[in-house]
Amino acid sequence: MVLGWVKSVSILSVVIGTLSLLSSEAGAESAASMERAARKALNELYETTPGAKALADDAVGVLVFPSIVKGGFVFGAQYGTGVLFKGNEAHGYYSTASASFGLQAGVQKFGYALFFMTQEDLSWLKKSNGWELGVGPSITIVDKGIASSISTTTAQKGVYAFFFDQRGLMAGVGLQGTKVTRIIPD
């Protein structure tokens, strides 16, 4: 029993250390490199998922996190940085982070984009001073099946999330409890 607890604490220490390293590297990331990576990821999403492009045309803002690293063994954590676009212009830089506990093991890298359909939905991002996804505007996670049928008629309000470029050995991706915070890159 004690050995299991020590092992869990050790793993948690490694996860926290990894997140600290990732977060300090993100602070050193330049706005230009963040924007390049986000634009590239968003263009690839549009090429593979036409429904995402249709939403973008009507969205008031798109927040793109091109590369999020998630890892864990019982205790888990994830971290990444992203860019908010309004039209074709960058309007802010953000980090996303979360911690979790439960039946999980592995490491994964993925990206996601949040499409804000109304100004009211987008204002949550600014006024919440660190938005916890799952609190505030409703979020619809769009999978491959829904993405092929989504249109500007079916997508009226809320925030739509598209996951992309998933790699690694960790089952399941979720946004509940993920914190999105504005950052100032170098």
pLDDT tens, residue by residue, 93-117: 999 998 877 777 888 898 999 999 9
Which is nearest to 81 in space by CA: 16, 164, 165, 24? 24
In this prediction, residue 19 has a pLDDT band, given cuts at 50, 70 and 90, of very low
Q: How confident is the model at residue 156 (pLDDT cuts 50, 70, 90)?
A: very low
Q: What is the pLDDT of residue 75?
A: 83
pLDDT band at 64 (very low <50, low <70, confident <90, very high): very high
Distance between CA atoms of 93 and 183, rounded to whole angstroms? 6
Mean pLDDT across the stretch 157-169?
81
Averaged confidence pLDDT in the chain: 76
First to last CA, the chain: 46
Over 90: is that where the pLDDT of 167 sits? no
Angle 31-48/50-58 helices, nearest 10 degrees? 120
Tell me the per-residue pLDDT of 130-153, one tens digit each, with 9 for 90 and over: 766 554 455 666 654 443 333 333
30-44: per-residue pLDDT in tens? 999 999 999 999 999
pLDDT class for 91, splitting at 50, 70, 90? very high
